[in-house]
Amino acid sequence: MTFQVPDHLKGRDYIETSDWTVEEINTALEVSSDLKRRFKNGEPTRCLVDRTIFLFFFDKSTRTRNSFEAGITQLGGHAHFIDAETSQVSHGESPRDTGIILSRYGHGIAIRHDLVPGEGNSYMREVAEHADKPVINMQCDVDHPCQTLADLMTIRERFGDDLQGKKIAVSWAYAPSYAKPMSVPQGLIMLMTRFGMDVTLAHPPEFELMPHTMQRAEKNASESGGRFRVVKTMEESFDGAHIVYPKSWGCHDLFHEPEKSLEVGRKYTDWICDEEKMKLTDSQSLYMHCLPADRGSEVTDEVIDGPHSIVFDEAENRLHTAKALMALTME
């Protein structure tokens, strides 16, 4: 039987999860689950035969690039990888011109542009304004809607579709590697509050998130009957949590001076997810991370490799959600 998906999302951009309704997010998750089942059973899902998607990267990637490249191949199409540094964007080509031209060459555009607050999301929306093919956000400065969709899928696989009252701790954690984007924690607080979850955010005072994402999380929680609050310590956020998601991000005002952001972070090396902190959580709690995690800084080996960890299930679901987004939006 030919694999088919609903056609009411054809041509739609996917730049933030907030751009899609709860019903549309649910459709994406249903298709993701179906694709995962078919993949496990070896069933073909070639619904995008001879279609081309352009993967435009301003930053490095492992899971995102490979989930999209493998995904489009499994759907019958092909991906073109574009490194922004080796494209004409590095010489000043405008997002308008890029959107128009790539639209004429293929059937979808996906972009990662995440390291500079105020740039990535705006760039994608300008490309989308002039492109006549769907634009998918592979991570920007505001949101990582592919990651958080996979996160929601993974949580539902463990807890079921009704997540009302389930507590998720989204906490900053120390990492010495680089000043990481804020988009994952921002995406989590904006998405999980739409599904009635008790979302608790924790971070040192210097590591605040973008105000408009906080406001959206508060509004979403109010509308869904969930809860959103901010606490001052990782321990307080972990207390009784069903899910913990501790990861590092940089100081909003210091992304142009990453070494200063890392210097600030060194004051908080005790913000690490270890077995002692996991004892504060629910006995059946889950540890999640978008990966790669800074082992020994963000999290101990005992936790990430232990019985609470579902990071590889989470990473696996990146493939199936990426495929669903392409299948639903590309024609």
Domains annotated for the chain, with CATH where assigned, are 17-144+318-329 (3.40.50.1370), 146-314 (3.40.50.1370)
Token pair 């995406």 in the structure block, residue: 187
CB of 263 within 8 A of CB of 286?
Answer: no
Q: Which residues contact 59 (CB under 8 A, 6 or more apart)?
A: 112, 113, 114, 115, 139
C-alpha to C-alpha distance for 311 and 281, rounded to whole angstroms: 17
In 174-271, DSSP assigns E strands to 198-202, 227-231, 243-247
Closest CA to 128 of 98, 105, 104: 98
C-alpha to C-alpha distance for 139 and 127, rounded to whole angstroms: 15
Q: Which residues contact 228 (CB under 8 A, 6 or more apart)?
A: 189, 193, 199, 200, 201, 217, 218, 220, 221
Q: Name the token pair of 215.
A: 């406001």
What pLDDT does residue 3 have?
Answer: 84
Q: Name the token pair of 300.
A: 């101990």
Q: Reduced to 3 DSSP states, what percent helix, strand and coil does the chain have, rounded to the nearest 5?
A: 45, 15, 40
Checking phi first, is residue 330 left (phi over 0); if not, alpha (psi -120 to 50) or beta? Answer: beta
For residue 246, list its beta bridge partners: 171
Q: Report the DSSP pairing between strands 243-247 and 286-287.
A: parallel
Q: What is the DSSP letter of 142?
A: S
For residue 245, list its beta bridge partners: 170
Kindly list the averaged pLDDT for each block of 10 residues, start to end, along the chain of length 331: 87 98 98 98 97 97 98 98 95 97 98 95 98 98 98 98 98 97 98 98 98 98 98 98 98 94 98 98 98 98 98 98 98 96
In 146-220, DSSP assigns E strands to 167-172, 198-202
Closest CA to 139 of 269, 280, 322, 273: 322
